Structure 1
Amino acid sequence: MKVRENEVKKRKLPAHSQEMIVALLIIVAYLCNMQRRMGLGNEWNLLFKPLRVTICMGLFICWGISVQRRIINRRLRDDLMIIDGMVIFWFAILTIQDYFVIHQGMISRAIWYGTYIPQLMIPTFMLFAAMHVRKTDSYRLPRWTWVITGISLAFMMGILTNDYHFLFFRPRVSVDMLESYYVFMPAYWAAIAWIFALVSMSVFIIITRCRTPYSLRSARLPFGLMLIVALYFVLCFAVPPEISCLMGDRSVALCLASIGIVESCIRTGLIPSNTGYDKLFTVMPMGITIADDQWNIRYRTESAAEISEGMIKRTMYDMVPLDQDTQLRGFRIRGGYAVWEQDVSEMVAVLDRLRQNSVELRERNYLDEQTYRTVSSLRQAQEQNRLFNRIQDETRSQNEMLHRYLKEYRESGDEVEKRKILGKSAVVAAYIKRNGNLIFAGEKNEIITTKELYLCFQESMQNLELLGIECCLEIHIPGGLRISSARRLYDVFECALDQLLDDCSLCSVNIGDRNGKIAFLMECEGGGDLNMECGPEVRVEREDGVWRIICRIDDSEREEGEI
């Protein structure tokens, strides 16, 4: 396998090659602008002028493309792209003036005034870009920045309407004369001071927000460029005309200076950019290898081990052990494959310890399991005993009654009487059974279904029929009810039945829902006395030889609907 490690680095040009190329292109453009001063003929102008325009416009466009690729923050990138657009607009109107417009007249003067649009907007958006440095995409500029925008727009509108007030430029002879025949007024110098103030404020904000070490040392480059621009601007106005012609095109120089200041902040790290990942990758402490689609190694960190092509291919499907404490893992990436080394020494040590612990735990688990089963069985038996004791206590009177019936059965010699006693015993036994079921159900759930309540009454009434008693049962509850309410109804039924069982010939029970309350009506035809001491909600009536037991129970917490 061919190892093309860090192939990009091997093909890289010498350090600062990009800066050297840009500087060379600027020198060529400067010489193209000075060709008339060199005594060359007009025929050379047809070659050098388009070459100068192509070089400058190409530099501006290429810088905008590089900003689009390097800057991650969307709002910061938008501000820098606006700056680049303003530079291109500035150079474009100068080129139009140079090619197609006479250097006198209203159109030429309008183009001259128009150059101050980018001159004022570039520093303004440079300040906005500085405020977006190291902020999230959701960051919004504070409201006071509208004051900055308003001042810049005021200066811009003042310059564009200079012909009406002459506060910025005043002609020496005629309005149609060139720029050199104008006198610069105090408002013009105020605009220049405003431009330098915005640029200085932008660089200061960028420096204060820088989080990299030696940020003040990095700020020397943008501040140095600002001093050079200030010195160049002073020389353009201070030196005689014979020498100022050697200063070149002032507008193009300012365009390059605007981009140069921003680019210096990017190159020095004052403005974060999406570059330098190859250096960061090389010094990473983690062993990583990157190969292309043909399995040729392109990049490898300094701590990465030598691995073969076969090992790289195997990592795409499974983990590959490199040594006892290291494993290789692979992942498919765009344009190739990435393999990284994972230190598993701690995991291996943990696994060894776990193996030792598993042996110890296996010996203890048996005893713990037996202990748990014993304790669980004991608790289950205790819970069952508790429930049985509760049932025994709550049905004590019925149990005594059942024992009395059984004693009478053994002592009686009449078969008819025995059959009647067995029927009574069956009724009492059904109550004991069903009441126990309700107690067990109440331990699991507070709600009982209407069907279960119906089965309780049905079993008791089936045993009543053994005594020749006609029975009728109707339960109309559109859902379940609480266990406490069900047991209350069943206890009222059993209490009345115990007293009327000997002389009862007909028993009817009707249970229904009445305005959110459970209405209970029990009718028994027969003689005997009835004393219901079951609470104030139970009412007893007798009419035409029929006992009526009426009860209303509030069961508002029961569930609605069928269960």
Structure 2
Amino acid sequence: MGKTAAISSPPVLCVLLVLTNDLHQFVFSFPSGGICIGESGTYTYAVGYYFIIAWVVVCALTAFAITLYKCRLAQRKKYLPVLVLPCSIVYAVIYASGAEWMQIIGGDITAAQCLMFVGMLECCIQVGLIPTNTGYAALFEAGTFGAQITDNDYQIRYTSANSPEISKGIMQKAETAAVSLDKNTLLKSHPIDGGHVFWQEDITEITALLERLEENNETIAESNYLEQENYRVKLKIKTLREKNRLYDLLQDKTAEQVDLLERLFSQYNAGSDYEKRRSLLAKIAVIGAYIKRCGNLIFIGEQSKTTDTAELSLCMEESFANLELMDIDCAMDIPGGSRILVEDAIRVYDFFEKVIETAIDDLQSVLMKARSAADSVIFRLEVESSCPLADFTESCENCLFEDGVWCFTLRIGKAGEQL
């Protein structure tokens, strides 16, 4: 920042000396404070004028020295600008001294100095101190960018040192899209006046990045595959655990019926009387229907807490179908459309099954009816049997025995309310 201020301060001061009214007389001094530009002898040069001239000379010499120092060409005619620059300085000094002959010969100092400045620049160009638009062919050939310039017939006119030989067919393909020369190099092109330019683009980093991405994709794919396999195994294990849990739940619920089935099968295998064996098979069918339908209700309860009375009607219907194999009269009237708790449906079905199992050896007829009340469903089970069934009184709302028929009443609350 300090160096910039030091360089820019002198030219700013020079501009202020020349362009401001208050400081202008430090450059041009006028007699008695008057100003009469254009008349000879009406002004003289003050100290500011010589300061400006000195700054211009210093800038010119510095620019020439820097140009000479930076130039990489060694030519013998570097003295040409040296001749022009002193001539400009001498002219300015003589002109400022007031010599009339120089003012007549040189004319206006501004025009003369501009001409000399242009001449010095031209001399610098001629001797190579200032580069010009020449030597492009050699510069292009020395380049390491792998490029070629061809005419419209794809004949090579200029080529860089490291450019490979490219067939005409590949050049024509590169006109429409980039062509891959190898794994890490692309050939691109662009039309120019009178031909085409082709250049190589190194895509090593892009290729390496793509390879890393591909490796990452493979790693992620393997990881995803392992995750999916782990998920499948976990799902399978959870499914088996759930099946085992439901199986254990059903086994605990129907343990008494399973034991009864084993005893009935033992009696069936040991017996020889046809009618007795037929009766045993009918009992086995009734108990098997209960185990099946009770399992269905348990599975329904795992998905929803409530069910329709129509589901309970299906359970009763299958049990009745097996009871009829024993020549037992069965009837049922359970309308659907009422929602009850699944556990209440299981409770009604369990009550029915226990009553049937107790009275099955002396069972004549069975009637199951249901009636929907405002906030409950009332079930009425009528069993014609001489077996004592008074022990079931505590499990129902009402129990009545009349003319050989046992009547049991159960009340189940709707929408989960048990009354």
TM-score (norm 1): 0.37
**Does 1 or 2 have the higher relative contact order (CA < 8 Å, sep 6+)?**
1
Instruction: Choose 1 or 2 for highest CA Rg.
Output: 2
TM-score (norm 2): 0.46
